[in-house]
Amino acid sequence: MRGLTVLQSYTIALMCGGNSNEREVSFSSAANVEQALASAGHKVVKVDTANKGFLEELKQLNPDVAFIALHGKGGEDGSLQAVFEHMGIPYTGSGVLGSALAMDKYRSKIIYEALGLKTPRSLRLKRSQRGTHAASHEYVLKIMGLPVVIKPSEEGSSFGITIAKDAKTLQRAVEESFDSGTEVLLAERYVQGVEITISVLGSTELQALPAIEIIPKNEFYDFESKYTEGGCDHIIPARISEKVLAEANRAALVAHEGLGCFGVSRTDMIVDDEDTVWVIETNTVPGMTGTSLLPHAAEYNGISNEELYESFIIWALERAARASL
């Protein structure tokens, strides 16, 4: 981070809003990013991808770089990244493939396992199979047992997550998720332990930021805990042994590289009573709000918001320059 080249003033399209369940979170992230980049002397223009004419806005703006502050579908899943690839606009964060793989919790688990990382056992339930043996809660009970975590396979910010500790709750969680339009669910073995997260930064050289221990006020680190003041406590550095920390750092770095992430990622993990590190998921556009974990970890390491977000821009421009060679 300290060796980064000082930036000139750039025109930045700050991509935010969108149509996902995390629209308001995106606006909150974008507000912090805008403040930091504007104070550093850049021209920052917000572009809401929920507007049908946002592509025309981009063409007219002709930005030097697009800063992605969109969370969830339409911003973190590779679709917007593909648009920028087609338009030839440098953009922050992971590319099309890395974004898509990390967003898909089922496929990212396959990659974790192939890389030798421990991740809780899971079943994939498809809406098209609803009512069949393969998608029934009885099948989940038979294969997984209880307690089990039910979550949408392609959502972020803990949307739609239920920890089912009995059969009735499990059935309701599956049915309500499919009723809401969710296409694919993940039934994941529940692991109890210390929740931690580690952010990874860098382009050609990667840096793991300090591990943060998360103590939510609710049962788990849900949406309310993440984005409500006082919803959880962040302890940094996390209260884990040096041995566990080393393994957690390794897991975060392996997940980042294995999924094909770029620039920034944040991997959430649980450390159980036997000090086993379980990888839960990797986020390619971590929250950048006032209560978010990435800025907190960066600040602890002496990295200001201005330096953090300008580094994303530098790496985006460097990647674009390499691709043009």
Catalytic residue among 227, 247, 249, 292: 227
- Annotation says 22 is catalytic: yes
Q: Which two tokens stand for residue 257?
A: 């590289």
Catalytic residue among 77, 95, 112, 266: 266
Catalytic residue among 64, 104, 222, 268: 268
- Annotation says 281 is catalytic: yes
Dihedrals φ, ψ of 285, to 5°? -125, 75
Q: Are 262 and 193 in contact (CB under 8 A)?
A: no
Catalytic residue among 158, 283, 292, 311: 283
Element (DSSP H or E) covering residue 32: helix 23-39
- Annotation says 195 is catalytic: no
- Annotation says 104 is catalytic: no
Sheet holding 184-189, edge to edge: 122-126, 184-189, 148-152, 162-164
Between CA 199 and CA 272 the distance in angstroms is: 20
**Residue 324: which residues within 8 A CB-CB, separation 6 or more?**
none
- Annotation says 227 is catalytic: yes
- Annotation says 157 is catalytic: yes
CA distance readout (Å), 273 to 196, 238, 241, 242, 270: 14, 15, 12, 15, 10
Catalytic residue among 157, 158, 199, 311: 157
Between CA 95 and CA 115 the distance in angstroms is: 20
The C-alpha angle with vertex 191 and arms to 266 and 212, in degrees rounded to 5, equals 35
| Strand bridging mode 194-202 / 263-271 | antiparallel
CA distance readout (Å), 291 to 157, 235, 266, 303: 13, 13, 15, 16
Catalytic residue among 99, 281, 292, 319: 281
Catalytic residue among 18, 20, 21, 22: 22
- Annotated catalytic residues are 22, 157, 227, 266, 268, 281, 283, 287
